Amino acid sequence: MTGNIITDFFNYYIVNGGYMFELFFNHLLMSVYGVIFASIVGIPVGILIARFSKLSGLVITLTNIIQTIPVIAMLAIMMLVMGLGSTTVVVTVFFYALLPIIKNTYTGISNVDSNIKDAGKSMGMTRNQVLTMVELPLALSVIIGGLRIALVVAIGVVAVGSFIGATTLSDVIIRGTNASDGTVFILAGAVPIAIIAVIVDIILRLIERRLDPTRRKKAPSETNHRVQTIN
Amino acid sequence: MEQFKKVFIMVLTALLVLSGCSLPGLGGGADDPIRITSLDTSESQIMAHIVRLMIEHDSDGELNPTIINNLGASTLQHNAVLNGDANMSAIRYSGTEMTGPLGQEPINDPELAMQTAKEIFAEEFDQIYFDSYGFDNSYAFMVTKETAEEYDLETTSDLEEYNDELRFGVDTTWLNRPGDGYEGFTEHYGFSFGSISPMQIGLVYDALDTGSLEVALGYTSDGRIAAYDLVVLEDDKQFFPPYDAAPLATKELLDEYPELTDTMGKLDGIITTDVMQQLNYEADGQGKEPAIVAEEFLEANDYFENLESEDHS
């Protein structure tokens, strides 16, 4: 350590490169797992409550309540049930990721123009065909938006997971708070967490934009065709 | 509807398969055979990684222990092992164990303390408390090399002669602590200090180095002792309780993997307080991750392979 924060910061990665990458990967993996499980449950639930709108109030209130629990309290509660370690963190991430995913799926599907749905029906589509061929494609960008928010939340939740024994980038931050001069440690742990969040946000935002039906680029003939049908 | 059913069945099978195994790439599931607890100190994390790497090395990569990191106190380690979240601890300090999880009176004789702790762990909890790694992390008075030469200091009793002349720096909590605190110290050694500056314990080493203090009370395995070339004064009247560092494992785990006893035996008494100071300094002073420090240390010592062959010959 030379005392110059910027050189020390980069030295930290040069000296610990391999292990820091392992932590980085572990951190990202835990967030992704939690979000994947949440979307396996959340997207069908979102579709369901869009169809049976009486359920929507109840489900969204429930997930809203989960969101109000502080992360550290939630981790402590989950720790009592499931014990220490990374599995507990993944389950906690799952709960926090539910709200954005369910809510966005619900909003995306219920905002599909009812005229378009009716057009589908009148062409003889079954309910499931309307869902898979009309509603889901049109709602896809909103659903991806939900995943994006969920993943960014997840990265923050995983960071707290260090307190229940999971190996995350926060290990480095905690070591920094214990050392007598820990600025470099704290930065070395905090900066990559921020970087993961920003990168994930940018990538999913690009996907989201690409899937947005109002912005989707079409071949000229197709565009003409579409204009005609709408008219 | 047919298609919907297919998707539903697929998702269900996928979920069942996933819940059956621990998440790939993560480890740390309850089905990982070896789970090692570690405190939130660099020292404990270095030792946890040393134990992990030794086990991986000796089992030729078949056993991959998971580390449960950042537990705040030894009681947490004890509970984690008791309720099955973990089945090994990288470091348990004999003194902490006696007064903390085991709820005993402190014992000042290091060997007796270790022996008593071992017996209680074996009898009450079915856990094996191994022999010490060879270092301890207890309180001790320390001075700079120059001060030691100037006043000819070697033991804590040597301080009595100069107690009004020298400036002392101690941990804030130590001043008012019953038992092994300042009050107990004055009774045991029969002298008090003229000038005392209470401060956070992390600061005393720098204060010694810059010359704001002549004598400080610090932890014996702190990396800055080696870095600043400090001299640790011997606790000749055995006032401070011993905090010998040793690993712990459940009997169940050792019965299942008997080879672990050999692996842990290789670490027995091998890491002296001086070595630990050096390792701690690499982690805290030079900014290396505990995992890297442990790996470099084991590679430099060839994973204590030679030691084993010496034993057999």
The rounded distance, in Å, linking the Cα atoms of B108 and B188 is: 12
Question: For residue A187, what are the domain limits?
Answer: 5-214
- Token reading at B232: 């640790």
Q: By mean pLDDT, which of A156-170, B169-183, B242-256 is the weakest? A: B169-183
Contact B161, B189 (CB under 8 A): no
The rounded distance, in Å, linking the Cα atoms of A214 and B194 is: 80
pLDDT given for residue A204 in this prediction:
92
**Which residues sit opposite B35 in a β-bridge?**
B66
Interface of A with B in 167-226 (CB under 8 A): 167, 171-172, 174-175, 178-180, 184-185, 188
The number of residues making up chain B comes to 313
Identity of residue B104: Q
Residue A9 located in a structural domain = yes
pLDDT given for residue A32 in this prediction:
93
Contact B267, B273 (CB under 8 A): no
Q: Give A230's pLDDT tier (boundaries 50, 70, 90).
A: very low
Residue A231 located in a structural domain = no
Residue A13 located in a structural domain = yes
Query: Span B139-232: which CATH code?
Result: 3.40.190.120
The residue of chain B with its CA nearest to that of A26 is B26
Residue A205 located in a structural domain = yes
The rounded distance, in Å, linking the Cα atoms of B246 and B92 is: 5
pLDDT given for residue A225 in this prediction:
47
Split into its structural domains, chain A has a count of: 1
Contact B289 A128 (CB under 8 A): no
pLDDT (tens digit per residue) in B54-100: 999 998 888 889 888 888 888 889 999 998 889 999 999 988 888 88
Ranges for all domains in chain B classified under CATH 3.40.190.10: 29-136+242-312
Residue A192 located in a structural domain = yes
User: Percent of chain A having pLDDT more than 70?
Assistant: 91
pLDDT given for residue A219 in this prediction:
46
Nearest CB to B23; choose among A33, A126, A188: A33
SS3 assignment, position B175? helix
Ranges for all domains in chain B classified under CATH 3.40.190.120: 139-232
pLDDT given for residue B83 in this prediction:
87
pLDDT (tens digit per residue) in A87-126: 889 999 999 999 999 999 999 999 999 999 999 999 999 9
Inform me whether the pLDDT recorded for B289 exceeds 70: yes
pLDDT given for residue B27 in this prediction:
58
pLDDT given for residue B299 in this prediction:
92
The residue that leads in pLDDT, A192 or B10, is A192
pLDDT (tens digit per residue) in B115-172: 999 999 999 999 999 999 999 888 899 999 999 999 988 899 888 888 888 899 988 8
Nearest CB to B69; choose among A18, A90, A171: A171
Complex ipTM above 0.85? no
Q: By mean pLDDT, which of A15-24, A134-143, B31-40 is the weakest? A: B31-40
Residue A98 located in a structural domain = yes
Mean pLDDT of B7-23: 60
pLDDT given for residue B11 in this prediction:
62
How many CB atoms within 10 Å of residue A58? 10
**B210 interfacial to chain A (CB closer than 8 Å):** no
CATH number at residue A106: 1.10.3720.10
**B291 interfacial to chain A (CB closer than 8 Å):** yes
pLDDT given for residue A35 in this prediction:
95
pLDDT given for residue B22 in this prediction:
58
Contact A38, A93 (CB under 8 A): yes
| Nearest one of B61, B52, B59 to B249, comparing CA atoms | B52
Residue to mutate among A1, A16, A180, A185, with most B CBs inside 10 A, is A180
pLDDT given for residue B126 in this prediction:
93
In sequence order, the 6+-apart residues with CB closer than 8 A to the CB of A4 are none
Residue to mutate among B39, B289, B293, B299, with most A CBs inside 10 A, is B289
Residue B162: phi, psi to the nearest 5? -110, 20
State the average pLDDT for chain B. Answer: 85
Mean pLDDT of A37-48: 93
- Token reading at A44: 């069908």
- Token reading at A153: 């939340």
Q: Give B313's pLDDT tier (boundaries 50, 70, 90).
A: very low
The rounded distance, in Å, linking the Cα atoms of B52 and B60 is: 12
The rounded distance, in Å, linking the Cα atoms of B93 and B286 is: 25
Contact B275, B167 (CB under 8 A): no
Mean pLDDT of A202-222: 75
Whether the CA torsion A82, A84, A87, A90 is positive or negative: it is: positive
pLDDT given for residue B134 in this prediction:
92
| Nearest one of B217, B198, B196, B220 to B271, comparing CA atoms | B220
Residue A70 located in a structural domain = yes
pLDDT (tens digit per residue) in A52-90: 888 899 999 999 999 999 999 999 999 888 888 888 899
Architecture of domain B29-136+242-312: 3-Layer(aba) Sandwich (3.40)
